[in-house]
Structure 1
């Protein structure tokens, strides 16, 4: 069985634990060293769309507050996103520079590569186009293979001329192709094919400039060799770029070295803007104060699982006089019951209890206050200081406001922070009524490409040279277009950075969450089972805490208990905004279609 974080070494002896003994809590992994953070950093090198989204949210839009980063360090992901973009811009510039230098040196022969490359790109575009599949597939097939065949024949013609000199005819290379499929090599006497374009043979003869190698023949032959070696040089750059990513996964992004933040080269950037925004993000992302925008207040928490609310009348019991019951007193009853979930059940000995690896042992509880970002003069004016936050917390617990809201936040990070379950609990009393609100949210696993980063890097590093060469050559035709798009995206980002005026804009809530941007949206059956267990267990303790608080304050609990259906195994089903479902012996089971993740 693979080791999980917090698993103690040594055997697991049996025996009964002494009375009152409790194992120490599981060691907490800092968010910046978590596995989810590492995979997100690796994802910035694999997915340019994800990388650009991270940079746009945290670096370009500096007026936006950072979304809560549950189990990750978004600032470290930003550091690697900027580093990955710098590296990719460098490789893109090298690829385009190679093309630019090769054009005059080859007397324009390398331009003839463009036609087959465009055909292959058009084939990929047609396959993804919104047209009937029966039409898209054959059209894409013809375009791709016609481009590949044209590219191969052009390369062979260059090789024949380079090896045999100007006296070698290359017509035999194109003779198997019918004229209808060979418009570029028709051999018209005027140098133009049937389609009106210049033939390859004519272009080659123009590139040779003479029918013999005498006089300027050596320079002419050099032009042909330059055109012939261009694809190999481009393939070498593509391979080196991929090799750099593979080396990064083996070094600074490896499981052994990643926890050492100070040795991470991405963190050592000298950019003043990056250093300033990095510190700002690290203040905001893990603090108990959540600055939100009204359209998405729980940004960063993941996908919502049925938010449920439970209203109950505060009716005094006949046997005693009720005591004042405020929101803080109810929450004070909930917290110790939920915190007790960290303690393993008796397993025979302290060592056996300490060996329990249930993620509930690392359950986190804190109080958070949600404040709207609108109305602040600057982003730095948010009340993140401990004294300012405590003032907001003390007032928000009892006021029951619409925009400023207090929540008890309960978080369980499972599967190395790959599945994060968070429950936001709010209690409000008003007019003799008590309202209990619970908003469960789940962050689903990271994209499969990110999870496979180590596997991809390992496979590339240990692949034989022939396999690496084939991989690089197969991606060489699209390298120029990809490099051009990369430079255009970088230029557009720099243009927005310099002209959009985000630095002077009024602050606003987060537009996106780095953790949510990296999520795939699907989870395994094991993960779904764990989420269901976490939610059921914590919700049971929350309900028990409210019941206890009501009873001890002298209020009736019968009405509250009627709204909670207990099943034989201790599960809890709550009446939600979507309807009530009762499950158990001699109950009528009602099935209805619900959103994914519902109870």
Structure 2
């Protein structure tokens, strides 16, 4: 059996000292003998990370994502914040609220413009609703799963183009009427049939293209494009063109608002959400919002999301860590060696052997000179190690009663490390944030001794990259800002027909959120663990081959050092290590073998695997290289 022997490291604990959080700082690093370790790579503050910036941008791009963030962190104030690995969920919440306020303002402006234009146009602007409804129905028809695909495609095509042609002909009629005789000019053009509006009771008279002599002469009595239109009864003054101009200018006015709304997002990506300005939290306009509820919840989220104490929900204790990735556990007998007397071996002593070996991964391999070694950019140099205690949220009277104070956590840590409890659990959390926190690997390690047995549990989790839309935020904003005016105008006009419906839905969602805040009573509810994680909400689950290779390398390297730490602890305490070494076999290129009831699992290529009987168990695999 091949084995990688790790030499003893200076500063390795020999007594009963306890672990502490060692987030990539010089004091927590382990330097190999005979050379000076280069300065570690300091991790980027979560509030200034690239992933936080893209998640903030995503609140402006994706309404569903924005509403989910607000619902979890703002509406459900009884829920603890999930651990936010590499991000600041409070800052994402700040931009989600700001994005919603801006969208509500734009939606209100668009809807107000329609409301003002309807009476000023003598209700001619209401005729826009018919082609707009046809186009909306066409888009909706393609999403109907119960229809045959060919019928959905054909029906959608017919409805959308019929609506576009109707809209175009109506605009042409308005132009002709505005420049050639007022309202009477509309009757000289063939138009698709449109629904009639209320007539004489509201001061309007029916104008029919099928019943006037001018229309019959233009299109004939048998023309299929016939219909009736309601025009205001102006007392014979049909040459009044003001209502026509109001109806005609409504579309470009709405298009201008649509363009300005998109331009505001592009400006935000170029200013407060740019890579240069985003690290300056104090200059962020979203952070300066003075709402008392927001400030209170923001402080709570920031106190909870990065602490060593994790308040969890029973159904999802690792919420925020990402997808499980090859979870496994191992149980072996603690058999004393025959050549010496075995010493008592507790859980803390084993973890104290693991930590220095894992921390040594921060130190680059010798490269000939300190300068060359310091230039190594491997993300293992920013590896973070932390003890954490998981506590169930049930049983607390209020969210503010959670024991986040350092003395309270120290008390829970001291009791949990040796008790092996079911609900309160002590875990070692090892984290590597790669690709600018776009891919995060977290390995949870739990060691427990009971009844002469050693139990080792390893639960790797991976946070995969953000949605592609969020990653393309800068590209989208740059393309819009540098696009020529004609292209911007075409884009705005194309989005104008759906803007009225979108504005109504936006206002309804905003009212629904306010109603829930006022009626659901979340402020007085008993605390509960997080339901979702902001970072996980923004993840897409797909990764590149390079990212898959990095995930495999991080996991294999960390797990091998964990296994080496357990082996060292067993040997130092006078216990046999043969059984443990047979269960975890170091294979080619650092691959880790863990036997299971279903067979052997090898990570890496060209592995040599030895089958053994035992009680090891492997868990569910997540997404990743197979």
TM-score calculated relative to the size of structure 2: 0.87
Contact 1:412 1:534 in 2 (8 A): yes
Aligned residue number for residue 448 of structure 1: 468
Aligned residue number for residue 89 of structure 1: 104
2:234 corresponds to 1:209: yes
Aligned residue number for residue 54 of structure 1: 69
Distance in 1 between residues matched to 2:113 and 2:93, nearest whole Å: 30
Aligned residue number for residue 13 of structure 1: none
Contact 2:465 2:542 in 1 (8 A): yes
Aligned residue number for residue 128 of structure 2: 113
2:388 corresponds to 1:368: yes
Distance in 1 between residues matched to 2:483 and 2:178, nearest whole Å: 32
Contact 1:68 1:301 in 2 (8 A): yes
1:302-328 CA-partner distances (Å, limit 9, x unpaired): 000121001010000110010000000
Structural mapping, 1:76-155, within 5 Å:
76-130=91-145, 131-155=147-171
Q: What is the aligned counterpart of 1:320 among 329, 332, 340? A: 340
Contact 1:207 1:223 in 2 (8 A): no
Contact 2:135 2:163 in 1 (8 A): yes
Q: Secondary structure at the match of 2:387?
A: strand
Contact 1:102 1:226 in 2 (8 A): yes
Q: Secondary structure at the match of 2:229?
A: helix
Q: By how many angstroms is 1:473 displaced?
A: 0.2
Structural mapping, 1:403-418, within 5 Å:
403-418=423-438
Structural mapping, 1:483-498, within 5 Å:
483-498=503-518
2:248 corresponds to 1:228: yes
2:410 corresponds to 1:395: no
Aligned residue number for residue 343 of structure 1: 363
Instruction: Decide whether aligned partners of structure 1 residues 18 and 555 sit closer, same or farther in structure 2, where only a CA change above 3 A counts.
Output: closer
Q: By how many angstroms is 1:418 displaced?
A: 0.3
Q: Secondary structure at the match of 1:321?
A: coil
Q: What is the aligned counterpart of 2:173 among 143, 147, 157? A: 157
Distance in 2 between residues matched to 1:588 and 1:551, nearest whole Å: 23
**Over the residues paired in the alignment, what is the CA RMSD in angstroms?**
2.6
Q: What is the aligned counterpart of 2:588 among 565, 568, 572? A: 568
Distance in 2 between residues matched to 1:273 and 1:577, nearest whole Å: 52
Structural mapping, 1:419-568, within 5 Å:
419-568=439-588
Q: What is the aligned counterpart of 2:45 among 30, 53, 62? A: 30
Distance in 1 between residues matched to 2:549 and 2:59, nearest whole Å: 30
Contact 1:365 1:408 in 2 (8 A): yes
2:209 corresponds to 1:187: yes
Contact 1:25 1:361 in 2 (8 A): yes
Aligned residue number for residue 597 of structure 1: 624
Distance in 2 between residues matched to 1:577 and 1:243, nearest whole Å: 58
- Which ranges in structure 2 are unaligned for 5 or more consecutive residues? 1-23, 25-31, 197-206, 216-220, 612-618
Instruction: Decide whether aligned partners of structure 1 residues 69 and 538 sit closer, same or farther in structure 2, where only a CA change above 3 A counts.
Output: same
Distance in 1 between residues matched to 2:622 and 2:311, nearest whole Å: 27
Q: By how many angstroms is 1:581 displaced?
A: 2.3
Q: Secondary structure at the match of 2:552?
A: helix
Structural mapping, 1:349-360, within 5 Å:
349-360=369-380
Of the structure 1 ranges 576-585 and 33-42, higher mean CA displacement relative to structure 2 is found in 576-585
2:330 corresponds to 1:305: no
Contact 2:266 2:480 in 1 (8 A): yes
Instruction: Decide whether aligned partners of structure 1 residues 369 and 89 sit closer, same or farther in structure 2, where only a CA change above 3 A counts.
Output: same
Q: By how many angstroms is 1:576 displaced?
A: 4.7
Report the count of equivalent residues: 569
Contact 1:287 1:384 in 2 (8 A): yes
Q: What is the aligned counterpart of 2:258 among 210, 215, 238? A: 238
Q: By how many angstroms is 1:497 displaced?
A: 0.3
Q: Secondary structure at the match of 1:555?
A: coil
1:415-463 CA-partner distances (Å, limit 9, x unpaired): 0000000000000000000000000000010010000000000100010
Q: By how many angstroms is 1:578 displaced?
A: 5.7
Distance in 2 between residues matched to 1:51 and 1:167, nearest whole Å: 45
Instruction: Decide whether aligned partners of structure 1 residues 81 and 576 sit closer, same or farther in structure 2, where only a CA change above 3 A counts.
Output: farther
Contact 1:166 1:208 in 2 (8 A): no
Contact 1:307 1:577 in 2 (8 A): no
Distance in 2 between residues matched to 1:516 and 1:475, nearest whole Å: 30
Structural mapping, 1:167-178, within 5 Å:
169-170=185-186, 173-174=189-190
1:99-118 CA-partner distances (Å, limit 9, x unpaired): 11111111110110001000
Distance in 2 between residues matched to 1:507 and 1:65, nearest whole Å: 7
Q: By how many angstroms is 1:594 displaced?
A: 5.6
Distance in 2 between residues matched to 1:524 and 1:210, nearest whole Å: 71
Contact 1:306 1:598 in 2 (8 A): no
Aligned residue number for residue 182 of structure 2: 166
Contact 2:585 2:592 in 1 (8 A): yes
1:13-43 CA-partner distances (Å, limit 9, x unpaired): xxxx993211000122110000000000000
Contact 1:566 1:572 in 2 (8 A): yes
Q: By how many angstroms is 1:166 displaced?
A: 3.5
2:293 corresponds to 1:280: no
Contact 1:60 1:497 in 2 (8 A): yes
